[in-house]
Amino acid sequence: MNLRLDYNNVIKEYVGEHGIDSDDFNEYKDKIASAIEGMKKKKDEGKMDFRLMPFVQDDVVNDINDYVESVKEKGVIDTFVVLGIGGSALGPIAVQQALNHPYYNELTKEQRKGCPRLYVLDNVDPEKIVNFLDIVDLKKCLFNVISKSGSTSETMSQFMIIEEKMKKVLDNEDELKDHFVFTTDKEKGNLVKIGKEKGYKMFVVPSGVGGRFSELTPVGLLAAAMCGINISELLRGAKEMDMACDKTNYRESPAYMYAIIHYILMNKNKKLSVMMPYSDRLKYMSDWYCQLWAESIGKKFDNEGKEVWGGMTPIKALGVTDQHSQLQLYTEGPFDKIVVFLKNERFKNELMIPEVYGDIPEINFLGGHTQNELINVELSSTEIALNKMGKPNMKIIFPEINEYYIGQFIQMMEIATGFMGELMNINAFDQPGVEEGKNCTYAIFNKPGYEEKKKELESQKKRTDKFIC
Ligand code: PA5
């Protein structure tokens, strides 16, 4: 069985005038057909290499598993730390949260089946790193520095700080090799250079796979395998989903339908898309997805260079928690969004609510039901509430949450994002807005090669106190 996309509640018949109907699908028929062609062409021309990842990585999986075994055999490492940001961090966080024990780091080593604890440091807030160093023994840490470019200031500064600290606690610099592993481009960038010089183990981010599309490369696979997650199953799920999505009839492809529905609604002025999992395990999948969607489809220019200022803002929410926070706005606020629920059909535990307080019927009615029933009944109730107010919503259904279905979800969302790019006629695979921010930082810090940028920044209008209160 595969993940299913249930889009009944975006159809006008169910949700009313703010939904979509067959006229909408007809209106975009040609665009959809050319987007399907575009996907095929890009894949054949090697411009969508993330699609290949589930099919071509047998050797990579073996290399990762061998490395993980060798680390465990040495028995020194008890903490695995990812240093990375954006596409180099959100996937590892999301997969770990989805598949391992929610309190994984608090389990004993035996309970973790000999796997190390996992931390992902994805910010340069100095307090975070300093405080992190308070709680670990550096001599037992293995740092996975992940940066495709090998130049991102955040990641490189973390690496530089930690490598220096590590040198101070080790007996000799030769031991550094046991504490750093790089995941980076095969030949370009500073990490390759440093890694070769120092003899650090290195894994490759394939050159045709961009950061946010790289979870199913060593970027995500190494941390997952290190924490006992079956990465072959992740890739098997992704493979099945890829084949299930690669359809000429778009109605059979959950990824294409996901994008088409978003595209039609976006053109009806619904420019917000909320992802709301009803599962704590999937909470960080929304974070991962938000970056994928935002960075890929938020573009100033279309493929012909025309200014379009395109995009649809992704928003993360969590069911049921945000029923008591965001839902009022989603139901009675403006008609500006679609809500996408993630439903888990089979939780790993069943939790019965005891039949107590027979004298208080206002709470006794819950007794004899499970929290499993409660969470999914609350999801249905939220759907009903949104439908009643004419607010389009749809749901992705997980038969359960395991490696296979998480692999499916990742591939489905990546294909949907690529397809949305085709529908919008924009390049979903670059990120000039992100690069602009990176370049400004380089210029301010006087990085060689950024002199022109520095001049540009210096010529900008200065702030005035007049507008600060
Ligand atoms: O998706 C992207 O390309 C970005 O979010 C990058 O992943 C992020 O900027 C980090 O880049 P790098 O891996 O080069 O350090």
Residue-averaged pLDDT of the chain: 96
Structure confidence at residue 149 (pLDDT): 93
Model-level pTM? 0.96
Q: What's the gap in Å between 310 CA and the centre of ligand 1?
A: 21
Residue 337 clears pLDDT 90, i.e. is over it: yes
Could you tell me what percent of the chain has a pLDDT over 90? 98
Q: Return the best residue to mutate from 49, 82, 148, 442 for the ligand 1 pocket (most ligand atoms within 8 A of CB).
A: 148
Residue 57 CA to residue 69 CA, distance in Å, equals 18
Burial 411-426 (b: 16+ CB within 10 A, else e): bbbbbbbbbbbbbbbb
Nearest-atom index, ligand 1, CA of 149: 14
Q: Give residue 221's pLDDT band: very low, low, confident or very high (50, 70, 90).
A: very high
First to last CA, the chain: 59
- How close is the Cα of 157 to the center of ligand 1, in Å? 15
Apex CA 97: angle with CA 75 and CA 366, to 5°? 130
Model confidence at 275, in pLDDT bands (50, 70, 90)? very high
What pLDDT is stored for residue 150 in this prediction?
94
Active site residues per annotation: 295, 324, 438
Question: For residue 1, what pLDDT is reported?
Answer: 85
**Spatial contact of 214 and 195, defined as CB atoms under 8 Å apart:** no
Q: Ligand 1: which atom is nearest the Cα of residue 434?
A: 9
pLDDT above 90 (res 328): yes
Ligand 1 binding pocket, CB closer than 6 Å: 85-88, 147-149, 152, 155, 210-212, 295, 431, 434
d(CA 54, CA 457): 43
The predicted model gives 394-421 an average pLDDT of 98
Half-sphere exposure (CA, 13 Å, Cβ side) for 358?
Answer: 1
Phi and psi dihedrals of 292, rounded to 5? -55, -50
Region 73-83: mean pLDDT is 97
- Residue 467 confidence (pLDDT) above 90: yes
